[in-house]
Structure 1
Amino acid sequence: MSKRKINNYFSRKDNDQSTNNQSVSNDPSPSSPNVPLETKRMNLVHEVVDTIESNYPYYERDPGKRPVIWQYPCDKQDEIRREYVGIGPYQPIYNYPLVDFKQQRRSFQFSWFIKFPWLEFSEAKESAFCFPCYLFDTPSLQQKKFTVEGFKNWKRVNCKNCPLKRHEGEINSHHSDSMQKWESLKNVSQHIDRKIVKESEKVVKQNRLLLKTSIRAVWWLALQGCAFRGHDESSSSHNRGNFLELVNFQAELCKEIGDIVLSKAAKNAKYIAPSIQQEILKINANLVRSKIRDEIEDAKFCILVDEATDESHKTQMTLVLRYVDVDGVVRERFMEVVAVDDTNSITLKTQICNILSHHKLLVENM
């Protein structure tokens, strides 16, 4: 057997270090091959526990030291429960102390954590506790043996009348109720706030599909130059106008659209009102004008102006731009139609200047 030297257990310190800062340890390094496997596991577990405790500094891990849950302020109890559920039951791994039972000595077994996953062990009281019963304990249904005092009668655990199994009780027992609440609290996807978020996301998705359906109908009617409104747009009408009939046509082609539009949509979110149609048209018109402006850039351009009176006897002025785009192609784009009080040259000039300045088109390039 080889002799071991003191350097196997102590590390040499530099001479320039002060005496106050020097420290030696007679604990073998966890990475040393001479350290038993059980010691390595214990050191690793303690490191994990220390990490958890550093992340949750305000919560006592040892069940024998922490106060009962109902002693906390009412507005803090749910928050504390969620934190403890996130940490989980305290199940340390170390050399559990032996307890004398008449002429026998028994100790807590780590395998019981697997058999009873709700079990906790207190190093302070050297006793076992119930994690879910602690979380949902109340003054009227207090489980003192497994939440305050602790259980340590290890001799009877493997007996036929096991106290741990008796604590679990029937389906309607306090422990079973606490277990169900613990499982529900662990299942984050079932929390009410997550449910609300999911419902909100569903409503947003439906509203977007409704709006896309109306936008497609507006695009098609504007492209074809068709009228939007009908003479009779009531639900009993056989022809409700181009816009509503086009929306209904999309609903017949796509079941996903058919389940949410027109009569199946919410009364305050149908997206088919005339004001909605006008707003969609206005947004699209602005996008088209921006595209035309991007095509012109700083090139020279001409204007074509005309005036006419519509059926309501209102005088309107139309403005068309003629220019050469970057590809060298001559383009004529309808830009604007505005109502004017009269057709005098001063009035038309004022309106033309207003349109050009609004779109940042320089008069010098005209």
Structure 2
Amino acid sequence: MDDLMNQPQHIDKVLNKQCHTEIANNRLQLKVSIDVVRVLALQDIQNIRGQGYDGASNMRGESNGLQALISHDCPYAYYIHCFAHRLQLALVAASKAVIPVGKFFDRLAFIINIVGASCKRNEQLKLAQDFEFAYLIDIDELETGRGLNQKCTLQRAGDTRWSSHFRSISSLIKIFSPTCEVLLKIIKEGSTSSRQGRSRHSL
């Protein structure tokens, strides 16, 4: 009753409960999927001797993680933190220690955040791509055909996602001119002085 009288607190509890329930369901679904694959591959789950995932608590948790569910059926399936994931984290940490590289990715993150901050900006980016496609086709610099010249968005880099930094840079290179057009519009509109200044600095 006290929670109902305190609506913000009650809402937080409901949301947290839903989140925990969803996490548990997703974890169980993933375990079932793994079991199905092993059955199809004619592998006995009792013969498993190892399991490796990323370091997220819902995966490596000793009580409620996926590794706990697998270990319950096969106690000899020892868990190790995925080496590819650990390498990704090490590379990200090492790159941030190099000041020019760290500044580059900070600026890249800012550009992606400000250009993709709203539906309005996303529409401006799509429109700028349309104009660029039309211009390049008009001067015979762009090949046309089915499946070609697809509009794309800026990809956000994630410290735990393998190759996401490469995809983020590639997406900016691919739509560099349209992105600059959106940044110029932000500078002209001048929504806030700080955003306007950082947008100008990014160009």
If the length of structure 1 is used for normalisation, what is the TM-score?
Answer: 0.15
RCO higher in 1 or 2 (8 Å CA, sep ≥ 6)?
2
More helix by share: 2
More strand by share: 1
The structure with more radius of gyration: 1
